[in-house]
Structure 1
Amino acid sequence: MAYPSVNIHAAYQSAEATLNQCQDAGNQAIEATNHKIDQLFQQQKHQIEADVALRQQRQEQERETFARLKVQHDLALQNQQQRFQTQMEERRRQEQQRNADHTRRLAERKAEFEEQLRGRQEELERKREAPEHTQETVATNPSSGPAIFISSVSQNLSYSFMRPTTSTTSTLPSNPTIPSIRHSQSLQQGQAYPATSQGTWGFPPLPSLPPLGQPQTAQPSQFRSPESLNNWALPPLPSMQ
C-alpha cells in the first residue's frame, strides 16, 4: 500500500498557524469577556457608591432633622417645666396667703373671744364682789345700811317696772344684798336713824298682789312712770323702831 507524500514541515506550520489563530480568538474572547465583566463591576461599584452616598445624605438629613426636633422638644419641655414651676409657686404663694389670712382671722377671732370672755369674767367678778362689798360696808358702817337698802330697792323696782308683764303671777326681783342688810338691821334694832323732811324713814307699802289668775295692774298713785325712774326720789323708809 502506498501513501501519498506529505510535506511534514508545511503541515506542521499549517497546524501551528491554526492553533495560533484559535488561541488568539480565544484570548480576544477572554479579553472581551473580562472587559465586560470589568464594566459590569464598575457599574455596580458606581451604583453602590451612589447608594452609599445617597444613604449617607439621608442619614445626615435625618440627623439634622432629629437634632432640630430635639432642640424644639427640649425648648418646649423647658418652657413647660418653667410654666409648671411658675404655677406651683403661684399656687404655693396663694396657699400661703390663704393660710396667713386664715391664721390672722383665727387670731382675730381668738382675741375677740378672749376679750369677750375677759369682759364676762370681769363682769361676773364684779357681780360676785358686789354682795361682799355691800356686806363689808354694812359691817363697817351700820348707818349706811338704809342708803344701800334704798339704792338696791330702787334698782330692783326700776328693773321690775321696765320689764313688760307677761305672766299673770307677779314676782318681786331678788336682791342678794337684802339678806345681809336685814341681818345688819336686826343687829341694829333699837338704833334711831336720822329723820328726813317728813320726820321718819317712811316708805310707801308695796302694792297688794292680785288673786291668782287675775292680771296685775300698776297703781299710778303709788308708782311713777318708767321715764322718770332715773331721777326718781324715793320716799322715806318706814320707821325701824
Structure 2
Amino acid sequence: MIRVLLVDDDAIVRAGLRLMLGGADDIDVVAEAADGAQVPALVAEHRPDVVLMDIRMPGVDGLTATQELRARQGAPEVLVLTTFHTDAHVARALRAGAAGFLLKDTPPREIVAALRTVAAGDPVLSPAVTRRLMDQVAGDGGQGSREAAARARLDLLGPRERDVAMAVGRGLSNAEIARSLHLALPTVKTHVSRILTRLDLNNRVQIALLVHDATPQDGSPPGS
C-alpha cells in the first residue's frame, strides 16, 4: 500500500481527494492536515510514503513545509499541488526537494498514477510545464553567479557521473540513459545514487535543475 498524507487548507479539497483516492486499492490516505505546521507530527505518527502538499496555506505554507520535511533523514516524497503552473513557488518547491507537482485540475486517474510514480522514486513533471519552469528559473536574477556555482558543483563528479547527470538533465529515464551511454541499468542507478550523495541532493529533479543552472544561456554544454 502507498500511504498518503493530504495537506490542504481547504476541507472540501481534502474530502474530494480522499474520496477519489479511496477508489484505488493500492493507496491509503492515512491522515490529513490543514496547515504545514501539522506535517512533522503527522509524518512521525503515520509514516506516509508520499505527502500530497498544497502550496498556498494561511499558516505554514507548503514550500516551507516541504523544505523542512525533505531536510530530514528518511523523509517521505512530496508531491506539491498548485493552481497555476507559472507559480514561482513551484520552482522553489522543486529546489527544496519535492518530487514534482500536479495542477489541481489534473484528472483523477493521473493523480493516482502520479502518486504511484512518486512512491516508486521517480519524479512527476509535465514536459510542457517543465519547460515553462525552466524558463522561469533561467529568468531569475543572478544567473551568472548561479551558473558558476552550479558548474563548480558538477565539477565534483567523475566523468561518467557527469555524463549521467547531463542525461538526467535532459529528462532521460534510467533505461534511456543506459541505452544512450551503453551502460547496464544497475550501473546507471548506482551512478544516480552517487550523484545525489556527492552533491547532497534529494532527487532527480534537483539534478536536472542543477544541470540547467550550469548550462550557459546559449545552450552549449556546461564547461564547454
TM-score > 0.5, shorter chain as reference: no
- Larger strand percent: 2
- Larger helix percent: 1
TM-score, structure 2 length as denominator? Answer: 0.28
TM-score, structure 1 length as denominator? Answer: 0.26
Compare CA radii of gyration and give the structure with the larger one.
1
